[in-house]
Structures are given as structure tokens and as C-alpha cells.
Amino acid sequence: MSTKVETATRAGTAVGLPLERVDAGEKLRGQARFTGDLDVGRMLHGKVMRSPLPHARIVSLDASRAERLAGVVCVLTGRDLLDLPSPLYGHALKDRPIVAIDRVRFAGEPVAVVAAEDEATAEAALALIDVEYEELPAAVTIEEALAPDAPLLHEGPQRAGLFHGLGELGEREGNVCYRYHIDRGEIEAAFAHADVVVEGEYTFPAVYQYALETHTVIAEHRPDEITVWASCQHPFLVRAELADLFGLPLHRVRLIVPYLGGGFGSKSYTKMEPITVAVARKAGRPVRIRNRVDEAMLTTRRHGLRCRMRTSATAEGRLLGREVELWLDTGAYADNGPRVTATGGDAAPGPYRWAAYRVDAACVYTNTSPSGSYRAFGATHVQWIGESQVDEVARRCGLDPLELRRQNLCVTGEELRAGGKPLDADLIGDVEKVAEAIGWGRPRQRWRGRGLSVGLLAAGAHPVSNATVRLESDGIAVVLVGTTEKGQGARTVMAQIAAEELGLPLERVRVQGADTRYTPYDRSTGASRSTTLAGLAVQRAARDVRDQLARIAGSDPDPDEYVALMRRHFGFAGGELIGVGEVRPRGTGSYAEGPVFWEVCVGAAEVEIDPETGVVTVLRTATVADVGRAINPKLVERQDEGATLQGIGNALFEEMLWIDGQLANGDLLEYRIPTLRDMPAEMTCIVVENGDGPGPYGAKGCGEGALAAIPAAIVNALADAGVPMTELPLTPERVWRRIRELEKEATGG
């Protein structure tokens, strides 16, 4: 991607203004349509039967009693998939069957699907399906999966998914499906000459990307065509996988995406779409499958992590080397695990000026529910670990943690990863801003602490986006772009960019939802890429329209003249001008050449600990949204506030727990998510606009960095208060036990 800053010739009509969301009215009135609100003619209701065991061979499956139940149209089982070109799919690796065929690999894996006239009948039919299992040994934890005698979850050669995109596939090593390695310099020398070495082992749990709307899909299968209405973030990638699975050309698969009720990565890539299409194929009628929350938690989650890290430095606080081994629990199927592993590996050194580093990262299969994307994946996993070691170096050297970062952080233009994009942000300035916001220099009270956090996230994903802008004869501009509106304000930002370029008021711009039959191609909605890449395509498409108008008028026309110009051009009150915009990679677009930009993950926090209970209260937070140019500042602030609250949840209490391979807290009563009561009394979002992004008007994405930064800042604040921790979440029990351990160590007990 080019880093050239593009500046609008018409300034201030829309971009940079905190304009009201274009979807606010219909959402507030309850008129917005989500997939669950749709009712396709002759639609059936699907219910999924799930495995009760984490690992077992399917000895027999008899659905005859269920099929005889009045109101049941069909029951889908693995036998119904054998005529497909391949019943396996997967974003990175083709390793997942639509429904289990010969064995199950996690408790909750789909084994059969009932399609019936109503949900109650479909639910009742599940109890009539008879399945006999032969239980197999299970590897539920990373340690069990890596053991020499571990049961193998997958055998035979690996098959790359359509979008693996991470170079050579490599051979599977036991239950390790992917490895990622980076290094720089002489790591042994960096530790041999060190005065200070900090090392430790750390764990980060699996967590759930809770969104108000669960996964919902409606599918209609005809002999030569598939139509799907889905709550998915990446309609074009899902379309490609469905076409591949069911042996159809791309143009015969249509994905329609209404509004999404949140995503956070839980609806990234392909989730419930294949199973819904498969049962619709057998039923010969449209079918809807709508997950309950407990089912959604078994569909996707964030990877759990084990990590060993060492950091070395001189007595003066100059960072020398970092050595990292990390293992990510991808569950029973790879999903996006390889990319999460690579992104975590890239984030592990942190944005410091190292003499040497070495990172070895592994993506590990376990007999648990599959892991996928979750906002700021990779960076959230490891930033808290690396930043806690940086703070420990500062303590041992007698330095202020802020000063140590000033001395060691990379500066704009420095190389961060061999062959990758140089740093495109002022990290020192960013961390100084958040430090000031939480009162860094003020005296600290007993059992209170403050922490800083600095990191980077490889953002942008594959830089391919297209957009179309149509100027209608009545002067209304219609924007067609594949970005999914999932609550982040994408339709508003796209409308603002088109309005800015055309000089129109926002109310004269319409942005349609994604429909792969009519909407131009957009790679995905994630990786903080929408404003940067899809927005750039919209800007170029709108400029194309404006250039056409200028040619018609013979000069740059006033927007009030558009209708008259078009009437003159077409000779009547009809016709339209169509502008197209394209964004594509300058090189191959490979992961190694990326990222499109480095997303800044900078934050600070002040916490208070109750030493009698171990309860941690977050008093104040500060984050930086280093966005290049804020297309809509209020949307930027709301993005960081939401990410901050999620970061607090990840840091303090969110954790998926398995007992004997069963998810023990698979509902919102047992799995706690942040509420308004968990909000800090003071939350500061600092918007930094340096015009240094590759997107429209120098913009670059935001919304993920705060989630990676806040857990790290909280961990460091806790250590500043005297309670260093190496395991998340920081539950009251864990913190209380750590306080007691430290008291014993202090008294020699």
C-alpha cells in the first residue's frame, strides 16, 4: 500500500466532523433488520445435535425416530456429505467437517441437524436421535496435547485452506498444526552481556467474544445456486468457501448481510454457514439456524495461551534481548489459528530497539471448542507479558518505567520486522500522553498503582477492496461497499468520505449493506481495515464521479448544480454516473510484506487493590487512538471506550473453564462479561492525528489497540501496587493468594 496522504479538495463538509450515525434512527426506532428478523418463504427451523464427549468415534447413528416425528422435514448427518467434492473446510487449513463424519473432536461438535416446521419440533426431535460413541482419550489442555503420548486429533497430510496466506504450509508435528518463527541478531550474546535478566512463565485463558446477536444463518439451496443471509463479517470469504464446498462457481453463491449485532471477530470467516446450507440442501427448502449463547460459545472463542519469556538489559536500562516461546490453543480445528499465531509472534518482541530477539510460536490442536479471531488477537495475548517484563527491568534498574520506554522505544521509520513495514507512529509521544492523563507523576497511595503499556498490532489484513459510487439523477449518491456494519459505524464513515469528495450533505448519501451479487468485492471486515482500505476505495470511487461531473461541466461544479448537469448530459431526468474505486497490494499482498499499517496499542491505568479480598478496582484508564486522521472523532472515541471495557473484562474476570473436556461456564450466568458497574470512574481516549496513515486523508484504523493495551496496563498497575501476577484473569482469589504468598516471602514464612 502507498503511504501517500491524500487530501480532499473540498475541506470540512463531512470528514473530521462528529456527525450523527446514519443508522441511528432506524436502530433507535427498532426498524433495523438483522438476520434473525428475516423470514424467508417456506422457511424451516434448524436445531443442532452436539456431541456430549470431547473425543470419540461415532459407532452408529440412527435418526429414523426423529425423521418420523410430525413436523420434521429431514435430519442431516455425516452420511449426507459424502457426495461433496470435499466435506472439509477451514480458513487456514481444510480440517473441519460440516458435521462430524466418523468421530467427534470436542464436546459440542455438531453431529446431526434437524430441520422442522417450527423450533419446538426441531428441538424435540434431537432427543429421538440415537448415537453410539466409543470414547477416545482426550487432550484438553496445551500440556496434554504436546505430551509424547498425546492422542492425535488429526492424521494424514495437511490441506491448505483457500486463504492460508502464511507461506509454506509445513508438516503437522503431532498436534502442532502451524509454527511461526522470527529472529534477529545474536540472542545468546544479548543475554551473555546482560546485567539484568527477567524471565517467567505465563498463562492467558480462552475467552468468549460476546456479542448481543448470536450466530444466525438462513440458507436456501437450489441445484445450481445458493443464497445465504448471514450474520457474518467477511461475506466474500464465506462465499468462496461455500462455492468450494458445494462445487459451484462463485457467481452462483450469494451472501446477503443485514446489520450485525456485534462481532468482535466471533463472526469472522466461516462459522454456521456450511451446516445451514447442507441441511437446506437436504430439505429442499430454506432453513434458519440460530445459536443460543451457549451454542455460540462452542462455535468460537479466543485462543488460550502458554508463554515462556526472557528479557535482558544493561544496568542502565538499555534493552538487549528477548526470547519467547508461546503456544496457542486453537481447539479442535485450526480456523484462523495460524494467523493468530503469526500475529502473536510478531507482537511478542514489542516495539523496542533490540540488539537481538527470537520468537517461536506454535498453534496447537486440543479437544476443546475451536478458537478464532477476537479483536486485537495476538497482541492482546502477549503484550501484557512483554510489558510486565519491561516494567520489571525498570524496577531492577531503579528507573521510572516511562523513562525506560523513552530510551528504548523505536521511532518513526525504524524497522520492526525484517522485510516488513517500518514504524509509522510516534510511540514515545503516545505513551507520554496516556501517562499524563492518569497523573503519572503524582504520589502513589498504599495498595494503589499505575501502569503503562506500549505495543503494536499488525493491521489491515490483505489490502484488496473495491467500491462503487452511483450518483442518481435526483442528486442522491449511493455507495456500494462490502464492509459489514456490525455496530462500529462503518456505514457512517463511508457516507462521510463520499459526502466529503462530492461536497454533498450527509443526508444525500446512502450506504447499502453487503450483498455479494451487487456489492463490489471487499476482502473482509476486521483487522481495523475498513476505514483505511474500503474507505480508500470509496474515496476513489467518489472522486471518479466528481471527475466525470467536472468533465461534463468543463470545470469543478458546485454540488447544487449536479441535478441540472446530469439532466443536460443525459437529455432527460434519468441516467446515472457510476464511479469505481480499487485498492490492491503493491507487492504480492503476502503476510511477510505487511502489514498495511501498524496499529498502536498504547494505554495506561490506575488501580486499587483491596488486600483483604483481592478485589481489583480500575479507577482510571487512558488510551491513544493514533488514527492518522479521524473521519468521525466521536466514533473513534466510542471504539476505544468499548475496547477498554473489553480489556478490563479480559484482565479481571473473563475465563472459559473446561472440566473433563466439558465447558463448565457456557452461559452468561456463569461466564461474566463487563457491565456498567465495571467502568472506571474516568476513561480518557486521546485521538492523535498525524496524517500518517495509508487510508483516505491520511487515516488508519483503530478500535483494537485499546483492547491489547488495557490488560497490560492493569497488570503493570497491579505490580506497581506491589502485586506482580503471571496469570490472567486477575480474579479476587488469585490476587488474594498472591498477596498472601508475598507476605510469607517478606516475613520468611
Query: Is pLDDT at 530 greater than 70 in this prediction?
Result: yes
Question: How many other C-beta atoms lie within 10 A of the C-beta of residue 564?
Answer: 12
Kindly report which listed range (347-356, 440-449, 586-595, 709-718) carries the lowest average pLDDT score.
586-595
Q: What is the mean pLDDT of residues 78-92?
A: 93
Can 24-32+464-584 and 378-461+592-747 be said to share one CATH topology? Answer: yes
Return the pLDDT at 749.
Answer: 67
Annotated catalytic residue, options 599, 704, 727, 745: 704
Return the pLDDT at 82.
Answer: 92
Confidence of residue 10 (pLDDT cuts 50, 70, 90): very low
Helix residue spans in 558-605 (DSSP H): 562-570
Q: Per the structure block, which three cell numbers stand in for 297? A: 460459545
**Sheet architecture: strand order including 103-104:** 103-104, 56-62, 130-135
Cα–Cα distance measured from residue 311 to residue 282, given in angstroms and rounded to the nearest whole number? 57
Return the pLDDT at 508.
Answer: 96
Could you read off the pLDDT of 265-308 as tens digits, one per residue? 999 999 999 999 999 999 999 999 999 999 999 999 999 999 99
Active site residue 655: no
Return the pLDDT at 568.
Answer: 93
Query: Is pLDDT at 317 greater than 60 in this prediction?
Result: yes
Could you read off the pLDDT of 517-529 as tens digits, one per residue? 999 999 999 989 9
Could you read off the pLDDT of 576-631 as tens digits, one per residue? 999 999 999 876 655 556 689 999 999 999 999 999 999 999 999 999 999 999 99
Could you read off the pLDDT of 332-388 as tens digits, one per residue? 999 999 999 999 999 999 999 999 999 999 999 999 999 999 999 999 999 999 999
The residue extents of the domains of the chain are 24-32+464-584, 378-461+592-747
To the question of domain 378-461+592-747 being in CATH 4.10.640.10, the answer is no
Cα–Cα distance measured from residue 387 to residue 349, given in angstroms and rounded to the nearest whole number? 10
Q: How far is CA 269 from CA 231, 336, 556, 565, in A?
A: 11, 8, 43, 44
Could you read off the pLDDT of 534-557 as tens digits, one per residue? 999 999 999 999 999 999 999 999
* Exposure string for 657-670, b = 16+ CB within 10 A, e = fewer: ebeebbbebbeeee
Confidence of residue 165 (pLDDT cuts 50, 70, 90): confident
The model carries a pTM of: 0.95
Query: Is pLDDT at 51 greater than 90 in this prediction?
Result: yes
Return the pLDDT at 8.
Answer: 33
CB 94 within 8 A of CB 88: yes
What is the 3-class SS of 698-733, one letter each residue?
Answer: CCCCCCCHHHHHHHHHHHHHHHHCCCCCCECCCCHH
Return the pLDDT at 6.
Answer: 28
CB 46 within 8 A of CB 114: yes
Q: How far is CA 308 from CA 34, 46, 311, 467, 729, in A?
A: 43, 44, 10, 45, 17
Confidence of residue 420 (pLDDT cuts 50, 70, 90): confident
Query: Is pLDDT at 5 greater than 60 in this prediction?
Result: no
CA neighbours closer than 13 Å in the CB half-sphere of residue 640: 31
Q: What is the mean pLDDT of residues 113-128?
A: 98
Three-class SS state of 655: coil
Return the pLDDT at 11.
Answer: 45
Kindly report the average pLDDT of the chain as a whole number.
Answer: 94
Q: Per the structure block, which three cell numbers stand in for 74? A: 429431514
Q: What is the mean pLDDT of residues 640-648?
A: 97
Cα–Cα distance measured from residue 309 to residue 204, given in angstroms and rounded to the nearest whole number? 14
Percentage of the chain modeled with pLDDT above 70: 97
Return the pLDDT at 168.
Answer: 76
Q: How far is CA 420 from CA 320, 463, 590, in A?
A: 21, 15, 10
To the question of domain 24-32+464-584 being in CATH 3.30.1360.200, the answer is no
